[in-house]
Amino acid sequence: MVKLPIYMDNHATTPMDPRVLDAMMPFFTNQFGNAASRNHKFGWEAEEAVEEGRKQVAALIGADPREIVFTSGATESDNLAVKGAAWMYREKGDHIITCVTEHKAILDTCKHLEKEGFRITFLPVDGKGMVDLDDLCKAITAKTILVSIMTANNEVGVIQEIKQIGKIARERGVLFHTDAVQAAGKIPFNVNEMNVDLASLSAHKIYGPKGAGALYVRRRNPRVLLTPIIDGGGHERGMRSGTLNVTGIVGFGKAAQIAREELPRESAEMLRLREKLRTTLERELDEVYINGDLDKRLPGNLNMSFAYVEGESLLMGINDIAVSSGSACTSASLEPSYVLKALGVGEDLAHTSIRFGIGRFNTEEEVDYVANRVIDVVRRLRELSPLYEMAKEGIDLKSVHWATEA
């Protein structure tokens, strides 16, 4: 018996693993010390717990523990990486390269820097969501100080050629930052193998607590320096001041350890369930389209458009399933996803897209239920759609001139 509602929005956040909560619990009560308190047992215990968490997070991405800077989450990590590098190396150059499908934490940070006089190049992507490496090479100038390209996209799950991008940046003497929030713990990700200088991470995407994040900052070859964006106390080797979230860091560390140990098995299982969902939907429904590269994508990601079905209506029809729509409802309008638009997906299809995020705790029974529920609702909505009926009759809807009232 499937328990409702079903959670299948694991790119937005993940439920906390019970093993993570067990590790955190003592630090809510008895072991409540401040990791910066060096004069008594409570502080020593807290500092020891933080350093253990630092080792666990570092091990997940093949880093040295001294290269991990704890933050409040991925948005702060992205801001620290991009602004910190921009401000630190401003005398060297004023040019930053990123991509149009980045998370808003990168795009809005870059737009903020534009107002300070920095020049930003927003690289386009192809129809599968991939950055063209030739475009990247051509964009780099003598004034380029940073390239920031996310490892895996949060909407369509597309995995970029991070190793090659890092190699290009390294050869040109440019720092390379990647938002690895959706990738780390779900696919193999090693900062040294992939030529990464800065990497943003988040606990709540890997079954850890919200409010805990990290930034990997390379110490050697090259040594990366950052101007802090938060001052006061000089915590985290001066890069991020503020009392450390000991409980969150303990949870982050445990989540990272579990993700590293279980990655091969878990990744294979999520891919199996994802493919079962995809093939079932494609077998039972016509006019469905995969958004983004199917092969180079996160194992648990399925972003699919259902033609002639409005995304919000579909979401309402499957309100016992937690998924995301490709449309973002604002107070005044219904705008399609900027990521899908960048892929060249037309507004009609962009408005019909659903992002399924399969995670650690999803079962095969849940996948079966979701597939059958979606199929049923899509068929029902299409029965109400005159556009679907016209398309089935062979009418080219793009050539239709719709009459409007005078």
Kindly give, in sequence order, each residue whose CB lies less than 8 Å from that of residue 29, ignoring residues fewer than 6 positions away: none
Q: Tokens 């409702």 belong to which residue? A: 4
The one-letter amino acid code at 134 reads: D
Catalytic residues: 329
Determine contact, residues 160/191, Cβ cutoff 8 Å: no
Name the token pair of 125. Answer: 């992507």
Q: How far apart, in whole angstroms, are the C-alpha atoms of residue 213 and residue 184?
A: 12
Q: How far apart, in whole angstroms, are the C-alpha atoms of residue 140 and residue 394?
A: 48
The one-letter amino acid code at 312 reads: E
Determine contact, residues 150/106, Cβ cutoff 8 Å: yes
Give the pairing type, strands 175-179 and 144-148. parallel
Q: How far apart, in whole angstroms, are the C-alpha atoms of residue 202 and residue 206?
A: 8
State the CB neighbour count (10 A cutoff) for residue 60: 27
Determine contact, residues 239/70, Cβ cutoff 8 Å: no
Name the token pair of 325. Answer: 């729509």
Cα–Cα distances in angstroms (integers) from residue 210 to residues 82, 228, 237, 277, 315, in the given order:
22, 22, 23, 28, 25
- Cα 303 vs. chain centroid, distance in angstroms? 14
Determine contact, residues 206/266, Cβ cutoff 8 Å: no
Kindly give, in sequence order, each residue whose CB lies less than 8 Å from that of residue 263, ignoring residues fewer than 6 positions away: 185, 186, 187, 188
